[in-house]
Amino acid sequence: MTLYTATYDSPVGPIVIESDGEALTGLRFGEEKTQATSSLPIFDEAIRWLDDYFAGKQTENAVMGAKKDGRITVQPKGTLFQQRVWQALLTIPYGKTVSYGEIARMVGCKSAQAVGQAVGANPIALFIPCHRVIAAHGQLGGYEYGQEIKKRLLEVENILKRRP
């Protein structure tokens, strides 16, 4: 399988976007700069989505599987359990947060820790909104790319401004 990459310069730093040519397969924050190997429609869609997101205008989550309603299509690779957790993450509305325990209940799992591990393994950050999952008592909890980026993403969505 061919993997294509592009870099997006976001307000929280560079974002590396990956695709198989049809769907997004990865997104990570980091210092790594790369050039798109070709001009793919999925990269054009992803960049528009990211522009809108960071401008506070993007409220639609991506969708796993077949393209639907013009939404970004994501195809993360993982176990069946991880897939269930990531599908649950896609139901968290823009501007809202849920706890690891709430996600555990949604997927029929008794372990918030197992859910936390699956959330942490999400290969397509932001499009699959793992940053919207917080600890049980309202603390931010962990984030693969650090709490500062998680905090800034939640600020983009005005979540932290509404919280006491």
How far apart (Å, rounded) are the C-alpha atoms in residues 69 and 79? 27
Count of Cβ atoms closer than 10 Å to residue 161 Cβ:
8
Amino acid identity at 114: A
Q: Which of 63, 130, 149, 154 is catalytic?
A: 130
How far apart (Å, rounded) are the C-alpha atoms in residues 75 and 124? 9
Spatial CB neighbours of 158, under 8 Å, sequence gap ≥ 6: 56, 95
Q: Using the CB atoms, write b or e for 124-135: b if 16+ within 10 Å.
A: bbbbbbbbbbbe
Amino acid identity at 75: Q
Q: Is 109 a catalytic residue?
A: no
Question: What backbone torsions phi and psi does residue 74 show, to the nearest 5 degrees?
Answer: -120, 145
17: left (phi over 0), alpha (psi -120 to 50) or beta: beta
Q: Where in the sequence numbering do the catalytic residues fall?
A: 130
